A and B are shown apart, each in its own frame.
Chain A
Amino acid sequence: MSFALRKQGEIVVVDVEGQLIVGNRQELKQKVLDELERGEKKFLIDFSQTGYIDSSGLGVLVSLSKKIREQGGELRLANLNDDLKTLFELTKLDTLFQIADTRERALESF
């Protein structure tokens, strides 16, 4: 499990590889917060290579969304597979996040 960050134009794209769970959620949070502190405002988290997410992982996404918004930034999510979509629907987090089917659509939506 790892997180790869790359810049695409003015958007920071984060790929979540493997699981986003209690054991690694802090690493994702810190990486995104570091970028936010450097002045980055637009973030896209891509889940195309993600297995499952637990409640801690979902909590980190909620926390990051708040912090990014507080700094006047924007967060988008993309490429949730059917299991992850179900997870977001069960928790109604699909109503809290802007979620795109593909990375391209997410990038266009900023």
Chain B
Amino acid sequence: MTPDRSRGLPIGSLHLALELEIPSDVRYIERVVEMVTRQCEQLAYSTRQMSLNVPVALTEALSNAILRGNREHLTKRVQVRCDVNRERLVLEVVDEGNGFDLEECLVDATSPENVVREDGRGLFLMAQLMDSVERFANHGNVVRLTMRRHD
């Protein structure tokens, strides 16, 4: 059997990229989250980041894109781009909607009037769990999530 010569090499210079496209159907979310977290696991991101930050923030971005951006229109697609290296993870979720004003939509979900609400926590959670959340237009409505690696 040929020995695997790559074992033991430093992973510091590794860079992984993943691109996916899904229909506007929330049933795909769990699968996409699983594929992305698997990429990050290869770069030894912390358990907390893999079990909480990435799954929840990505689920929120995907669910916004499918439900609000594409309004569950099955002919419309959602693209997901994942770019991860040893230092940081960048996720981009692109829908075919008109976009939204991030500042305007981001509310404090912990205020006394909002904590009892059933909705309105999606963007708040993304902002809490990621180092940055950006929204811009570039061949679609893009939400970009960036998270630095924690040791």
Count class of interface residues, chain A: 20 to 34
Bitwise, A68-95 to B at CB < 8 A (1) or not (0) is 0000000000000011001100111101
Tell me, in angstroms, the Cα distance from A23 to B91 when the chains sit together: 21
A-B contact count (CB 8 A): 77
Among A22, A51, A53, A95, point to the contact of B29 (Cβ < 8 A). Answer: A22
A90 close to B125 (CB less than 8 A)? yes
B115 close to A93 (CB less than 8 A)? yes
Chain B residues with CB under 8 Å of A60's CB are 118
Tell me, in angstroms, the Cα distance from A50 to B27 when the chains sit together: 18
Q: Which residue of A lies closest to B47 (CB)?
A: A83
Q: How far is the CB of B83 from chain A (nearest CB, A)?
A: 22
A51 close to B55 (CB less than 8 A)? yes
A56 close to B117 (CB less than 8 A)? no
Tell me, in angstroms, the Cα distance from A91 to B116 when the chains sit together: 10
A21 close to B117 (CB less than 8 A)? no
Q: Which residue of B lies closest to A19 (CB)?
A: B30
Interfacial residues of chain B within 79-134, with CB under 8 A of chain A in the complex: 109-110, 115-122, 124-125, 128-129
Residues of A in contact with B (beta carbons under 8 Å apart): 1, 19, 21-23, 51-56, 58-60, 62-63, 66, 82-83, 86-87, 90-93, 95-96
Q: Which 6 A-B pairs have the closest CB atoms?
A: A55-B121, A83-B52, A59-B118, A92-B110, A55-B122, A54-B59
- 7 CB-based A-B contacts, threshold 8 Å: A1-B30, A19-B55, A55-B120, A58-B121, A60-B118, A82-B48, A96-B116
